[in-house]
Amino acid sequence: MPASDPLDFKGQGPLLIHAHANGYPPQAYRSFLKPFQDSFQIKAIYLRPFWPGTNPDELRDWRIFRDDYLQELISLISGFGPDSRQVIGMGHSLGAMATLMAAIESPEYFRALVLIEPTLFPAWLGFLMRTLAPFHLFRHLHPLVRRTLRRKTSFPDRESMFRNYRSKQIFKGIPDEVLRDYVEGLAEETPAGSIKLRYSPAWEVRIYETGGSADRYVWKNLSRISCPVLVLRGERSDTLGQNTLERIARVLPRGRTVTLPSVGHLLPLEEPQQVAAVVLDFLNGLPG
C-alpha cells in the first residue's frame, strides 16, 4: 500500500522526521515545527490512516506503524544522500510510539529522539487493554472511543468545520491559528463541494482499541536505544503518567525527561512555541 508523500516544511540542516498523533494531521503542527526550520530539514510523515485505501479492521498490532515508519525513513534517507544516514526522530502520541518502535528495531538510523507524550502504559494497564481488545469492549469503556463514534464527519465548508471544532472542549487550549491548520489538514473536499474528514473515525477508534498491543515489545527492548532521547509530558496529561515517565527515564541509557506545566496531552498544539523551545534546547546540546 503506497504511503502519502510527507509534508515538506523545508528548512536547512540535518533531516528531522516528525510523526503525528492519532487523528491529527501533519499540518496541525505547522506552528510547532516552524522554529525548527533554521536548523533542520523537516519532513512530517503521514501515518497509515491517511493512506488511500487502507482498512482499519486489519490493524491488530501497533508494530505495523513501526514498519511503515522505517519504510518511509529509508526512502527519505536515500533521497538526502550519504550525509543524512542518521536522522532526528520526533513524534507526538501515536507518532512518538511509531518513532520509538522504529528506533528499537533499527537504532542505527537515529541520531536522537524526541518523544512527546508517547502512549506507553504501565504493564498492568497494557495487559488489560490487550485482554479486552478482541472483545471490542473499549467501545463501551473508553471515553475517547465513545466521543469519536459520535463525531460529525461532514461539513458544508471549512469555516463551518472550524466553528464546530472551536466550540469543543478538547480544543479549548488550542490557539485559533493551530486549529485552522488542523482543519486544513483534516478537511477533504467532496465532488459535491462539501467537506469530509480525511482521517476516518473508524481508524481513530481502531487505534484506541489496539492501544497497548506493542507495549510488551517496547518495555522489553527500550534499553536498546543508545542515542540521546528527550521525553516530554504535559503536567495535565491524561495519557502519560508521571510514574511511567520516570520508568522510561530509568530504562533509557541516555534518556532525559521534562514535564511542562499547565498543558495536557496536546502540548505541542496548545503551546507550540514553548514546547519547540524546550526541544531545540535539547537538540542544540547534542554532541557534534
Smallest CA-to-CA distance from 44 within 209, 210, 226, 181 is with: 181
The amino acid that residue 212 corresponds to is G
Query: Grid coordinates in use for 46?
Result: 503521514
Q: Which SS3 state, helix, strand or coil, does residue 65 take?
A: helix
Q: CA-to-CA distance for 187 and 27, rounded, in angstroms?
A: 11
Q: Which positions ≥6 away from 243 have C-beta within 8 Å?
A: 122
Return d(Cα 161, Cα 169) in angstroms, integer. 15
Which stretch of 88-102, 116-130, 134-148, 218-232 has the lowest confidence by average pLDDT? 134-148
pLDDT in tens, 192-251: 999 999 999 999 988 988 888 899 999 999 999 999 999 999 999 999 999 999 999 999
Distance CA 13, CA 249 (A): 28
Kindly report the backbone phi and psi dihedral angles of residue 99, in degrees, each rounded to the nearest multiple of 5, phi listed first. Answer: -65, -45
DSSP single-letter state for residue 37: T
Burial of 195 (0-12, 13-18, 19+ CB in 10 A): buried
Q: Does domain 7-284 have CATH number 2.60.40.1180?
A: no
Q: Which three cell numbers stand for residue 198?
A: 480525511
93 — alpha (psi -120 to 50), left (phi > 0) or beta?
A: left
Strands 87-92 and 110-116: parallel
Top-confidence residue, 64 or 3:
64
149 pLDDT exceeds 70?
no
pLDDT at site 152: 86
Of the candidates 28, 48, 35, 44, which has an alpha carbon nearest to the alpha carbon of residue 89? 44
- Residue range 34-80, pLDDT digits in tens: 999 999 999 999 999 999 999 999 999 999 999 999 999 999 998 77
pLDDT for the residue 113: 98
How large a percentage of the chain has pLDDT more than 70?
88
In this model, does residue 82 exceed pLDDT 60? no
Where do the domains of the chain lie? 7-284
- Mean of the per-residue pLDDT values of the chain: 90
**Which parts of 99-161 are beta strand (E)?**
110-116, 154-155
How are the residues of the chain apportioned to helix, strand and coil, as percentages rounded to the nearest 5? 50, 15, 35
| pTM for this model (two decimals) | 0.92
Up-side HSE of residue 265: CA atoms within 13 Å toward CB? 19
d(CA 242, CA 198): 33
